[in-house]
Structure 1
Amino acid sequence: MNLSFLKQRLLALANKGLPARQFRRLAFLDFLRGSAVGEKVPDRLSAYLVEMSRATPDAVLGDLESHQDGLSQAQADAKREELGPNEIAHEKPMPWWEHLWLCYRNPFNLLLTVLALISYLTSDMKGTTVIGTMVVVSTLLRFVQEKRSNTAAEKLKEMVSNTATVLRRDPAQTAAVEAEQFFGVRLHPRNPRKTELPIKMLVPGDIVLLSAGDMVPADLRIFGAKDLFISQSALTGESLPVEKFPQQSDASVTNPLELENLCFMGSTVISGSAISIVISTANQTYFGALAERVTAADQEPTQFQSGVNKVSWLLIRFMSIMTPLVLLLNGFTKGDWVEAALFALSIAVGLTPEMLPMIVTSTLAKGAVVLSRKKVIVKRLEAIQNFGAMDILCTDKTGTLTQDRIVLERHTDIFGQPDDQVLEMAYLNSYYQTGLKNLLDVAVLDHAELRQELNLAHNFRKVDEIPFDFVRRRMSVVVSEREDHHELICKGALEEVLAACTHVRNGGQTEPLSLEWLENIRQITTKLNLEGLRVMAVASKDLPPTRSVYGVADEADLTLMGYMAFLDPPKETTRPALQALKNSGIEVKVLTGDNELVTLKVCKEVGLDIKGVLMGHAIDEFSDEQLMEAAANTTIFAKLSPAQKERIVRVLRSHGHVVGFMGDGINDATALRAADIGISVDSAVDIAKEAADIILLEKSLMVLEEGVIEGRKTFANMLKYIKMTASSNFGNVFSVLVASAFLPFLPMLPIHLLVQNLLYDISQIVIPFDNVDEELLSKPQKWNAEGLGRFMIFFGPLSSIFDIATFALMWFIFAANSPEHQTLFQSGWFVEGLLTQTLVVHMLRTRKIPFIQSRASWPLLVMTAVIAAVGIFLPMGPMANYFKLQALPLGYFPWMLLILLGYMGLVQLMKGVYDRRYGWQ
């Protein structure tokens, strides 16, 4: 740290009368708050972290006003009041006014505002009112809907909030500590209270206990560690974990991420345990400084956002071409350029899908609510569309295809014969390990025979343990039954345990591990694997009682004792769920760290179509192109490392697939982040839940398939609005161009276009609640801006045919063929135009025959009927003069009915042509 700066800051604080022990902390926070984050974290932050790394534990405790037994609740509350919660700034909910601005700020609302302003400047108050109403309604609906969705999402997130294990002192312990400080002697032993706190409640000075599977909740200084391995990939991009120690071995290190006794927020505990102290929280952490730089930069659009943007700009491009054409045509033919300009502005409004942001948000929010009822928590609304677009699902085997209840099926010697001694050793290993207990440990500890007949724990005492990690794939404990004897018991994956063995137990004798023995061992274990059993090896060795601390180096010269064989039966729902996913066009690939033979057996039992098996060691030899080619013909990927899982996901995505990944373990976190949609479960480790976009409260593929269907319903309803609006508006503008070329007056006044467009948009507000045809749910759905443009050009002019028929009807039959009778002409086209627009909602929402083969939801039926009635009422009722309309003769309505029937028949016919040529969706 810059000492001259620190001294100046200390003097300034001293002049304020602050206690001396607060100086350094406040000085650090002061300069950090004012520092700018550029390409790296501030130099002063790096200097602070280096200094905390070099300081003695007592100095760190004093600097942070803490104690080896932790903070008292009062101390923690006071610090939190001063410093705020332990949350990165971008995670905090935005103020309401900022949220309201974001709801307003989209290309369409900005365009409408410009149009409203021009209308106001040209004294067109009615136009200004209608356009302003559109903007206000669209913005407020989106604001209210997103506010409700965000509130619901926050409540759901609380169900899966992450916590940290913290030491707290109660008031009596706090008083004892103060008395000891006064007298200088320890009065009596203390026992601080362990408590689980939400990560956001942590403050500098908190004593935090770490174990395998934990997220590092803040920047920490390690006081004590046992085989502690940390994954810093979120900060450094390095996939391999690094080991942390209580002391920094190289005093010359200045890069914070290379300090051996510091852990950083955003990293993960892979294995081991530690006791540590919080030195920085929230934005004052290394991660917070990086996050500030990241949030300052533009975020790369997601696939969903890119799709919406492409569609939006496609519609705007249509508007930018059609509006000038309308202006020029009406200006030259009518001679009134002011009126022509106002009419062209109305056309621009009519072409603008101003309700698109609200419709998109409403459909996504409605999907999130429906999924929450099916025990699916949506952390990010846009993930729902990705759910529907997913065409490949990568999933683990254990607990997903199979039950989360592994049973201990056999305990055998190296010949595959039952052996109680192997069972006893496995029990001691599982009982005394303090790391993350997996399902195999639980199965051993829950074994009925052990609970009823064995009382091993009272006969042995634990000396030490060597925790599990994903590199060794084994773990060991050292126990003692007699004071003159230590015994190391190791259990883990077969190949990894064999790698540490030099002998085997043959009956009562110990023999060297020869090639002949290896061949025999592999034959026996392969036979067990083919029966669907997962095999774990158990080995041991005797040690003299000369030490109390052991490490990985002691896992050598072991004697193989036998095997533990576990059965993980498939879930009853797995087979139908896999079939349902297949019917939905989703290919399932199994990515597992487990044995390929066991995985193959389980996959066959659940009916998964297996195209090929690929081992982890082979993947490292492939280029990305070779891996993609191999992955296309592979269903099972076995013996994978976390980095290999992530690479497979990235390669699949890079070739146009929308990839989902379902996992719940520490080793799944990077793949969850790499996938288009990360799926985890509420029982997953913290880091997996944090990385996921969607969290299942029930670990079942059947629930997942329901989520896929809901995602496709959501997308289908969004696409309905865009197709209907785009084609209908394009058809109207095309009709305007034709009419403007031949009529001596405007075919419709600007106010008519604006009211018609507003009523049409209101009729579609309930589209998020519409029914979806089954065939639209049978395959993944993706954005296709090119296809939307083709759809507009194909179906838009169809309505123009019947608009022109209406022009002829009004001109020749009802003699509305002069400027004196233009109001009658405009009223006739207003009613026909609104009814065809409303009718197109039902015609284009389905490939089938509307009202007969496919019926809209009752809210949409009611809403469109109401809007149609309002459209007829406006010219026929008392408000006709206000909107510059007039009552239509009763003879008009039979003609209008014929026009509508003809329009329905032609659209239905052309739907078949379009479907055969391009496909409907």
Structure 2
Amino acid sequence: MNFTILKQVFAGFIRSRAMSRHFRRLALLEALTGTGVSKEVPASLAQTLAGAAKSDADALLNSLGSHADGLSEHEAEAIRERVGANEVEHEKPMPWWQHLWHSYRNPFNLLLTILALVSYLTGDMKATIVISTMVVLSTLLRFWQESKSNKAADKLKAMVSNTATVMRRDPAEDAAEDARKYFNAVLHPKGPRKVEVPIKHLVPGDLVVLSAGDMIPADLRVLTAKDLFLAQAAMTGESLPVEKYAYPRNPEATNPLELDNILFMGTNVVSGSATAVVVTTGSNTYFGALAERVTTTDRAPTAFQAGVNKVSWLLIRFMFVMTPLVLLINGFTKGDWVEAFLFALSVAVGLTPEMLPMIVTATLAKGAVILSRKKVIVKRLDAIQNFGAMDVLCTDKTGTLTQDKIFLARHTDVFGEVSDQVLEYAYLNSYYQTGLKNLLDVAVLEHAEVHRELNVAKHYRKVDEIPFDFQRRRMSVVVSERDDHHELICKGAVEEILGVCSRVQHGDAIEPLTAELLAQVNSLTAALNEEGLRVVAVAMKETPPTQNVYSVADESGLVLVGYIAFLDPPKESTAPALKALQGHGVVVKVLTGDNERVTAKICREVGLPPQGVILGSTIEAISDTELALVVEQHNVFAKLSPAHKERIVRALKANGHVVGFMGDGINDAPALRAADIGISVDTAVDIAKEAADIILLEKSLMVLEEGVIEGRKTFANMLKYIKMTASSNFGNMFSVLVASAFLPFLPMLPLHLLVLNLLYDISQTAIPFDNVDEDQVRLPQRWNPEHISRFMVFFGPVSSIFDIATYGLMWFIFGASTVAHQTLFQSGWFIESLLSQTLIVYMLRTQKIPFIQSRIGWPLLVTTMAVMVVGILVPMGPFAHYFKLQALPLAYFPFLVVILLGYVLLIQAMKGFYTRRYGWQ
């Protein structure tokens, strides 16, 4: 894949970051806190939402042109053509003229434009043409490449695009609307269909089906709801999930944020289920109204972004010191302040690593393309570098260390005897719950023989359910087999179930749950855990058929019926993957909500011996200072809530680690958001995929190890460019400073410096495709501005030694010692400077002996060789006079070979000394 394609992919990813992203929305909302931007709902939107909240459901559907069964595809398309896509205004691609301006608007182009303008005003048309050409080519190239990037980005983005579940009517119903009202059951016995559509295709009037883990894709009015709780802290300030209902409980409320039946784009479902109708989409939503007042706000800077910023400021400080010195020295010694000013500006350009954005983006894009071939989709490009810098990986147990397939291994009564009744109760619970079915439910529902024996559809009807949440860690359904009673069936974590049980079932008898029985229960479940089985307790109670709505308060006085135990065996690839990660300096820590005994056994089986298992209750009880020590000393954390996971991740980051977190559930979203690099899978819930930076199409730790290596290669190649460019440019400018002080003319004209800088930059465009030494990917790597500064000062002046030797050669041997012969002098130094700068690419790309111990990538070899040839032809070819240069005598080149050979040998010797004292990187 060539550089153009990589640049296109990168630009597409940048564009994709501007698309509809849930956590980007949350960042924007969070940014409003404490600012002067009003979070008040605009009057027109407030009126629309308030009207929708208070309107009768049928009337609202009618006003939106919708139906109780939803829209047909034809109706949805017609509305979409009228109102547009469900995208917030600032998320849409910018117009071409604005894109062109952004392609031009960077400090380097602005600086070159100033140089071109000054050259024009001083009558130097050749310099004006050359500099202007550089600016135009740079701008158009970037504009063209980024314009072509959208298709490549859309293909990758589509692989992990989020969807919403909507109700779709049969197209035939459009032509039979009146008949449908009366004969729907006859004409269309199957009713409406549930279909998945991209979020951006939603339109007002769409009926959206919501369950735990779903994002709210637009502003919605709830039509039906069951224990629906939303996380909307960034929107309204509530720290706890907020319950929503089908009807407003406070009819007097005037602020839509206080309406109980309105859901806002950018929030997400924590638990429960609902059906809601889309009221407003895109820029007409509350979030869209906010987006018109503030610019998009991104996350806090990552370790990668902070490192780039530090390096950039380091180089800027050098530029601020060197440029004024060059101006003053040349102004006073030569007397031509205009020429001195142009020369100083050219020095500023020479000191600026203007190819840094291109090298960084191309290198990251190359990494993204390589990872995509390995079924890893990168949502945020700089996450690749964080992959390489990551030294702690926090991961869930289920489906990551273990197989993504759970088997129901046991179904026993309270005393450990096989019980079909326990399996039947568990089956009814899993079958009738409408929340997010997890792997445990799937394992239970695979027992089709239970379905046949119970004849669920015929003998049972569902009365109500109490959805799962991460505080209770249990869920209940209420069913009725006969109309004379209801059965509340509850399943969940053993401790939480025991907390609401007062009796146990022993055969056909019901006994009180005594202390002795409780100890027996704990002993039995602990023994099952020691076998590596995940135990879920099942309890029930019969109630009179006097109520149709049940709540958490009804989960009391239950009868413990027994347990279902699941086997979640470790993957065969887990042990070698963990060993490989540890071999690359990545410490793996397991953060799970599962039982500590099961977790410890699995960890031992995969070669991760627990260093003491820490429970969520312990995390709850200790301070941040104590937690900072605990997270360093232990590697397994069990029975965690979502808040516990997030707190552990933040504690590790506060300790100076670059932390990755891998998860796929609702409970993982806060930790994914908090980590330096969030990793999820394409089968994860929406909220987890949105929080993640990287999506795995295969849930495998082996893929993570490959990502770590690719991230380190990416970082190594970026660091190569910065180190070699900073040291080479610093050395050249140091040489300019020396020459300016002693020569009666400029050592190079501004035009020469610009052409030299352009050729040198071109020679490095293939650095993203360079090979990386194995020892450079062995350990985590981070930005170290102090190291780069030391490297620059250490190696930069080495080139100045041989630059000064070239000065002497041209002055004493070839007689270029007067203003009349300055062109000869400048031509000699032009070639030597370009060749030495290009050779530095070979020398400083590795701490080893180049070509012998370290193999250079062929694209980099080709570009550098081509640039060296062009560099020699500039003064030696027929167009030399256009660049104000001249051909050199052939006697110059043997001296040049000696100078360059000496330079190479000294650099290699200095590398050995530097590595022994400071390390290479």
In the superposition, the TM-score normalised over structure 2's length comes to 0.91
Residue 470 of structure 1 corresponds to: 470
Say if 1:280 and 1:342 are closer, same or farther in 2 by CA, change over 3 A. Answer: closer
Q: Please tell me whether the aligned partners of residues 570 and 602 of structure 1 are also in contact (alpha carbons under 8 angstroms).
A: yes
For residues 609 and 209 of structure 2, the distance between their equivalents in structure 1, rounded to whole angstroms, comes to 45
Deviation at 1:471, TM superposition (A): 2.5
Q: How does 1:182-581 map to 2 (within 5 A)?
A: 191-236=191-236, 238-295=238-295, 301-447=301-447, 450=450, 454=453, 456-457=455-456, 460-466=459-465, 467-581=467-581
Give a deviation string over 1:351-391, Cα, whole Å, max 9, x none.
Answer: 22222222222112111111111111111222222222222
CA contact (8 A) 2:230 2:267 kept: yes
Q: CA-to-partner distance for each residue in 1:166-197, whole Å, 9 max, x for gaps?
A: 2233344234434688x999997873333222
Q: Which of 816-825 and 798-807 deviates more?
A: 816-825
- Give distance in 1, aligned partners of 2:486 and 2:898: 97
Q: Residue type matched to 1:624 in 2? A: D
Question: Are the aligned partners of 1:142 and 1:361 in contact in 2 as well (CA < 8 Å)?
Answer: no
Any conservation in 1 of the 2:460–2:481 contact (CA below 8 Å)? yes
CA distance in 2, matches of 1:594, 1:823: 77
> Distance in 1 between the 2:215 and 2:298 partners?
27
| 2:665 partner amino acid | G
Question: Quick one: which amino acid aligns to residue 435 of structure 1?
Answer: G
Q: Which amino acid aligns with 1:461?
A: Y
Classify 1:787/1:99 alpha carbon distance in 2 versus 1 (closer, same or farther; 3 Å).
farther
| 621 and 289 in structure 1: CA distance in 2 versus 1, 3 angstrom threshold | farther
Identity of aligned residues (%): 69
Q: Partners of 1:662 and 1:138 in 2: how far apart?
A: 40
* Paired position in structure 1 for 2:650: 650
Stretch deviating more after TM superposition (603-612 or 432-441): 603-612
Which residue of 1 is the match for residue 804 of structure 2?
A: 804
Q: 1:100 to 1:416 in 2, by over 3 A?
A: farther
Q: Secondary structure of 2:412's partner?
A: strand
- Residues 38 and 428 of structure 1, relative CA distance in 2, 3 Å threshold: closer
- Secondary structure of 2:277's counterpart equals strand
1:768 alignment partner in structure 2: 768
Q: Which whole-Å deviations, capped at 9, do the CAs of 1:23-69 have from their partners, x for residues lacking one?
A: xxxxxxxxxxxxx9734332443344333222222332233233222
Q: What letter is aligned with 2:646?
A: E
Q: For residue 447 of structure 1, report the CA deviation from its aligned partner.
A: 4.0
1:379-430: CA deviations, max 9, x gaps? 1222222222222222111111111011111111222232222222222222
Residues 108 and 349 in structure 2, CA contact (< 8 A), matched pair in contact too: no
Distance 1:339 1:188 in 2: 88
2:735 aligned residue: 735
Shift of 1:328: 2.1
Preserved contact between residue 211 and residue 273 of structure 1 (Cα < 8 Å)? yes
Determine the structure 2 residue equivalent to 1:907.
907
Between the aligned partners of 2:339 and 2:882, the Cα distance in structure 1 is: 19
The 1:674/1:89 distance shift into structure 2, 3 A limit, reads: farther
1:814 matched to 2:818: no
1:66 equivalent in structure 2:
66
Name the SS for the 1:165 alignment partner: strand
CA distance in 2 between partners of 1:188 and 1:677 (Å) = 53
1:916 corresponding residue in structure 2: 916
Of stretches 89-98 and 216-225 in structure 1, the one that deviates more from structure 2 is 89-98
Residue 478 of structure 1 contacts residue 489 of structure 1 at CA under 8 Å; is this kept in 2?
A: yes
1:239–1:643 CA contact under 8 A, matched in 2: no
Q: CA deviation at 1:296?
A: 5.8
The Cα shift of 1:516 comes to 1.0
Are residue 628 (structure 1) and residue 628 (structure 2) matched?
Answer: yes
Report SS of the residue matched to 1:882: helix
Indicate if the aligned counterparts of 1:491 and 1:497 stay in contact, CA closer than 8 A: yes
Partner of 2:14: none
Written as runs of structure 1 = structure 2, the 5 A alignment for 1:608-627 is 608-627=608-627
Q: Which letter maps to 2:761? A: D
**2:590 counterpart residue number:** 590
Structure 2 counterpart of 1:663: 663
With over 3 angstroms needed to count, the CA separation of the structure-2 counterparts of 1:763 and 1:296, relative to structure 1, is closer
CA shift digits 1:446-474 (9 cap, x unpaired): 248758x8455366312324232222222
SS in 1 for 2:253: coil
Matched to 2:517, the amino acid is W
| Cα root mean square deviation, aligned | 2.6
Distance 1:37 1:435, change over 3 A: same
Counterpart CA distance in 2 for 1:834 and 1:653 is: 44
Give 2:19's aligned residue. none
1:529 positional shift: 0.8
User: In structure 2, what residue type is equivalent to 1:894?
Assistant: P
In structure 2, the CA distance between the partners of 1:731 and 1:647, relative to structure 1 (3 Å rule), is same
Contact kept? 2:173, 2:180, Cα under 8 Å: no
The answer for the alignment partner of 2:152 in structure 1 is 152
> What letter matches 1:743 in structure 2?
L
TM-superposition CA deviations, 1:239-261 (whole Å, max 9, x none): 53222221222233344333222
The whole-number CA distance in structure 2 between the counterparts of 1:96 and 1:308 is 29
Deviation at 1:534, TM superposition (A): 0.4
Say whether the 8 Å CA contact 1:108–1:353 is kept in structure 2. Answer: no
Could you tell me how far 1:137 is from its partner in structure 2?
3.9
Correspondence for 1:5: none
Task: Give, in whole Å, the separation in 2 of the partners of 1:257 and 1:600.
Answer: 45
Aligned-partner Cα distance in 1 for 2:317–2:150: 33
Counterpart of 1:671 in structure 2: which amino acid? A
Question: Are residue 698 (structure 1) and residue 694 (structure 2) matched?
Answer: no
After superposition, what is the alpha-carbon deviation per residue over 1:111-149, rounded to whole angstroms, capped at 9, x for unaligned?
A: 222222222222222222333333334434444454555
Tell me by how many angstroms 1:535 deviates. Answer: 0.4
Alpha-carbon offset, residue 900 of structure 1: 1.2
Residue 602 to residue 394, structure 1, CA distance change in 2 (3 Å): same
One-letter code aligned to 2:235: L
Is the CA contact 1:395–1:591 (under 8 Å) kept in the aligned structure 2? yes
Distance apart, 1:445 and its partner CA:
2.0
More deviation in 385-394 or 845-854? 385-394
Distance 2:237 2:765 in 1: 45
Change (3 A) 1:636 1:294: farther
How far apart in 1 are the matches of 2:184 and 2:662? Answer: 55
Counterpart amino acid of residue 70 in structure 2 = G
- Equivalent residue letter for 2:77: D
Is the contact between residue 141 and residue 358 of structure 1 (CA under 8 Å) also seen in structure 2? no
- The CA distance in 1 between the partners of 2:136 and 2:624, in whole Å, is 50
What corresponds to 2:77 in structure 1? 77
Contact 1:740–1:746 (CA under 8 A) maintained in structure 2:
yes
| 1:716 equivalent in alignment to 2:716 | yes
Give the 3 Å change call, closer, same or farther, for CA 916–312 of structure 1 in structure 2. same
The equivalent residue for 1:32 is none
Q: 1:221 to 1:72 in 2, by over 3 A?
A: same
Match of 2:12 in 1: none
C-alpha displacement at 1:485, in angstroms?
4.5
Contact in 1 for aligned 2:488/2:543 (Cα 8 Å): yes
Partners of 1:490 and 1:555 in 2: CA distance: 8
CA distance in 2, matches of 1:150, 1:365: 14
Aligned residue in 2 for 1:777: 777
Deviations 1:274-298 (A, max 9, x none): 2221112112222333344442668
Q: Would the aligned equivalents of 1:229 and 1:272 in 2 still touch at CA under 8 Å?
A: yes
Cα separation, partners in 2 of 1:147 and 1:573, compared to 1, 3 Å = farther
Change (3 A) 1:189 1:733: closer
Aligned equivalents of 1:778 and 1:57: distance in 2?
A: 62
In structure 2, what residue type is equivalent to 1:684?
A
8 Å contact 2:842–2:850 — kept in the other structure? yes
* Alignment partner, residue 10 of structure 2: none
- Segment drifting more, 730-739 vs 283-292: 283-292
